[in-house]
Amino acid sequence: MVGTPLTPSTTTAKNTALVSCHSCHLLCRPRASSNSRRIQCPRCGAPLHQRKPRSVTRTWALLGAAAICYVPANVLPATRAISFGNVQTDTIMSGVLYFINTGMWPIALVIFVASICVPLLKLSILSFLLISVHRHSAWRPRERTRFYRLTEAVGRWSMVDIYVITISVALVRLGSVAVFEAGPGIVFFGAVVVLTMLAAMSFDPRLIWDNKESRNDRTENRTTLD
Amino acid sequence: MSASRMIACHECDLLHRTRPLPVGTQARCTRCGAVLYSHRRNSLDRTLALNIAGLILFALANSFPFLAMKLEGQSQQIVLLTGIRELYRQGLTEMAFLVLLTTIIAPLVQLTGLLYVLLPLRLDRVPPAVWRVFRWVRRLQPWSMLEVFMLGILVALVKLAKMAEVVPGISLFCFFGLIYVLAAISASLDPQRVWEKWWEHR
Q: Which of B15, B149, B151 is the best mutation test for A, with the most CBs of A within 10 A?
A: B15
Strand partners for A79: A90, A182
The answer to whether the CB atoms of B11 and A5 lie below 8 A apart is: no
In this complex, the residue of B34, B155, B160 whose CB is nearest that of residue A171 is B160
| Strand-pair category, B67-71 with A79-83 | unpaired
Partner A contacted by B122 (CB < 8 A): no
| Contact status, residue A42 vs residue A26, Cβ threshold 8 Å | yes
Minimal C-alpha gap between A222 and chain B (Å):
24
First to last CA, chain B: 16
Minimal C-alpha gap between B91 and chain A (Å):
9
User: What's the alpha-carbon Rg for chain B, to the nearest Å?
Assistant: 21
| Strand-pair category, A79-83 with A178-182 | antiparallel
The answer to whether the CB atoms of B195 and A11 lie below 8 A apart is: no
Burial class (CB in 10 A: 0-12, 13-18, 19+), B141: middle
The per-residue pLDDT for A7 is 66
CB pairs under 8 A between A and B: 241
Minimal C-alpha gap between B179 and chain A (Å):
15
Interface of B with A in 76-115 (CB under 8 A): 76, 78, 82-84, 86-87, 90, 92, 94-95, 98-99, 102-103
Low-confidence spans in chain A with pLDDT less than 50: 1-4, 220-226
Partner A contacted by B31 (CB < 8 A): yes
pLDDT tens-digit map of B60-109: 999 988 888 887 777 778 888 888 998 999 889 999 999 999 999 999 99
Specify the pTM: 0.89
Which chain A residue has its CA at the smallest distance from B84's CA? A166
The answer to whether the CB atoms of A30 and B1 lie below 8 A apart is: yes
| Contact status, residue A155 vs residue A200, Cβ threshold 8 Å | yes
The per-residue pLDDT for A32 is 59
Q: How far apart are CA B18 and CA B192, in angstroms?
A: 12
Structure letter (DSSP) for residue B108: H
Strand partners for B2: A28
Q: Which residues of B touch A29 (CB under 8 A)?
A: 1-3
The per-residue pLDDT for B163 is 76
Minimal C-alpha gap between B183 and chain A (Å):
14
Task: Print pLDDT tens along chain B (202 aa).
Answer: 344 578 899 998 898 888 888 888 888 998 888 988 888 888 899 999 999 999 999 999 999 888 888 877 777 788 888 889 989 998 899 999 999 999 999 999 999 999 999 999 889 888 888 889 999 999 999 999 999 999 999 998 888 887 778 888 889 999 999 999 999 999 999 888 888 888 888 7
User: What's the alpha-carbon Rg for chain A, to the nearest Å?
Assistant: 23
Q: How far apart are CA A146 and CA A154, in angstroms?
A: 12
The per-residue pLDDT for A218 is 53
Strand order of the β-sheet with B14-17 is A7-12, B14-17, B6-8
